[in-house]
Every structure is written in C-alpha cells, then in structure tokens.
Amino acid sequence: MVVFFRILLHELSKETIRMVGFRPVCLALGLCAIAGILPPAMAAEREGAHPALRILKVKPGPAPMTVATATPGILDYDGIPTVENTNAANVGGLMYYCYHHHLVTDTTVRALGRKLAEWPAIQNDPDYAWGGAGQLKIGPHQMFDLKSLNHDQQAATCSRSALRGPDLLKEKKDR
C-alpha cells in the first residue's frame, strides 16, 4: 500500500513539473474571467435586484383547487378554468409561468407579462407570485393549480389569460 502511494506521489510530481509551463497561461485566463465577471456583478449590487425578482412573503391560504377538487362552474365545457375573475397581477405572473414552461411560443405573452410586471402595485401583489407559480386566481382567496391540467389545457388557459391581458393593461392605465 505504501509503495502504491509513493508511485502515485512520484507520478503527480512529474505532472506538476510539466504543468509549470502552463501556470502563467492559466493564471492569466483566470484573471481575465474574474475581470469580466466582477464589474457587472458589482454594478448589479449597487443598482439592487430587479424588482420582480425579489421574494414576496405571502400568507398561506386554502389549498388550490385542482381538476379533481374543482367545484361546479369553475371549469368550462372543455375542462379549462375560467379566467374572468382573475386580476392583472395574476395574469402577469401567469404569463411568466406560461412562457418559461413552454406552454406558449408567442413572444406576445412574454411582452405582456413584462408590461404588467412594470407596475409597482403588481410587483408587490401576492397574486403575481402565485401566478408565477402556476396558480390561477379564480375568486377571492381561491386559486386553481394549472399543473393539475394536461399540457394542452394548460396552454389553452395561458392563451385565454393572455387574451384578457390587454383589457387589464387598459384598466390599469385608466386608473
């Protein structure tokens, strides 16, 4: 066993001698990488994080409804939850969820989500956070978990929510 470690140590020392020539190159590459990463990181720290990227503390509510637990009238004729009772904050969060889970391919959804998220009142609204987690607001203190739907139904819910977005944007601007 001791012989094995001596041979291993000897081989490692030979490799170290050969690698000495590459040490300045590796050091220069490492310093360049650090120099390229640090300034943007320091600037981001000075400016603070993007307002929509902070953690919201949300009071726990009742468990969200699922396809199995939905009360009559929550799901439309095609098994998709109604989006008529949701608000701008929830739609903004849903647009994030839909785009990042590849439920829609239209960049309009991403643009709509960003426009809605620009409003400070929406950024601080817990419904925005719930929407980003795939929860559709269907009434006061009532959420529906989109993850309980199949992929096509989730995509259809995203599309219906996106259709409601421009009206919600207009309502926000009128206030």
Render each residue's pLDDT in the chain as its tens digit; 175 residues: 555 556 655 665 555 555 555 556 555 555 555 555 545 544 444 444 444 455 556 667 778 888 888 888 888 888 899 888 888 899 989 999 999 999 988 888 888 888 888 888 888 888 998 999 999 999 888 999 999 999 999 999 999 999 888 888 777 666 5
Round to whole Å and give the CA distance between 10 and 13: 5
If asked whether residues 147 and 75 sit together in one domain, one would say yes
If asked whether residues 119 and 142 sit together in one domain, one would say yes
If asked whether residues 147 and 168 sit together in one domain, one would say yes
If asked whether residues 29 and 111 sit together in one domain, one would say no
If asked whether residues 43 and 78 sit together in one domain, one would say no
If asked whether residues 161 and 146 sit together in one domain, one would say yes
If asked whether residues 33 and 96 sit together in one domain, one would say no
Residue range of the domain that includes 115: 54-174
If asked whether residues 79 and 11 sit together in one domain, one would say no
CA quadruple 150, 154, 155, 160: dihedral positive or negative?
Answer: positive
How far apart, in Å, are the Cα atoms of 85 and each of 90, 99, 138, 155? 10, 21, 5, 18
If asked whether residues 78 and 44 sit together in one domain, one would say no
